[in-house]
Amino acid sequence: MEGVRAQGPLSDIPDAGASDHVCWIYDDDAEFDRAVEEFLAGGLERGERLLCIGERVIESLQAVSLPARDVPSLIAAGVLETQTLAQAYEAAGPFVPENQLAYYAAATRRALADGYRGLRVVAEVSVLAAAQATRSELARWEHVADEFIAQATGFTAMCAYDGELTEEALADVASVHPLVHAPAGLLPFRVFFEDDHLTVAGSVDTFTADRLARVLACSPVGGEVVVLDLRLVEFVDVAGARVIARWAQQLGPSPVPLEVRGASRLMRRMWQVLALDEIAPVTFAGAAA
């Protein structure tokens, strides 16, 4: 679709772009090492500074073959930096999305000031997804980061997660990425930013509506009108429609109009039958399918 950010399921790392945000769920170590190699190599070709976070990613650097120079030379030249999770926490402060955003925004600005085209990060943070206490903040951070990345700020990222994590944990973090490498059937929908609006892709039903509610509730949207793009939605049921209506009702300290683009005829009909237009100010735009 013209003008839509690169998105969808992945079997391989795509060509490097200016707004990459990849979730890579891995079961095979060799496959993960290749993914790290390809993602970093793409950054080098684009002239980006590289940052590898987490012991598993640092371990992968022993197996990768990057263009032009070897890993020790890239580190010595300041092109590539590594941080353990403990070092990353110390650098960014307590793990809350606002701290993470401030840290990576500053690191991206430094990379740009040093003559790079941006900052490309590979982070393996399975430990944060595994713990219920930090998972919700991690998912919120991934969503906040996606808005920042979508603005073509120079920050791009691959977020890696061990496939041994629970399906619930993996679905929570993967659902807020535009590009996802995951087992078949794991991820019914994704929510990501495109320019200044929010896009939903996939299917939302009674069993996944609660996850959509959590994602929308932590979306960093604002402005006089909020836009929700449903052109990539294959199916949404009554539960999903009600989630969107409740979210629209809660936008801003005073009601903020929500524009829903590309909703199907079925969803528009459900909206009328359920009288959801009485809950929140919503307008539908774009051709119904």
Quote the DSSP letter at residue 288. Answer: -
pLDDT reported for residue 11: 94
Mean pLDDT along residues 136-152: 95
Q: Classify burial at 54, counting beta carbons within 10 Å of its beta carbon; exposed 0-12, middle 13-18, buried 19 or more.
A: buried
Token pair of 103, please?
């840290």
Average pLDDT for 66-83: 92
Q: What is the pTM of this model?
A: 0.93
- pLDDT band with cut points at 50, 70 and 90 for residue 160: very high
Sorting pLDDT into bands at 50, 70 and 90, what band is 5? confident
Burial of 265 from C-beta contacts in 10 A (0-12 / 13-18 / 19+) = exposed
> What domains can you pick out in the chain, each with its CATH number?
8-186 (3.40.50.300), 197-285 (3.30.750.24)
| pLDDT tens for each residue of 22-57 | 999 999 999 999 999 999 999 999 999 999 999 999
Give the pLDDT confidence score for residue 289 in this predicted structure: 53
pLDDT in tens, 185-241: 999 999 999 987 999 999 999 999 999 999 999 998 877 889 999 999 999 999 999
Decide which of 278 and 165 is more confident: 165
Percent of all residues in the chain with a pLDDT value above 90, rounded to a whole number:
81
Nearest residue to 288 via CA among 258, 252, 264, 260 = 264
Distance CA 120, CA 221 (A): 24
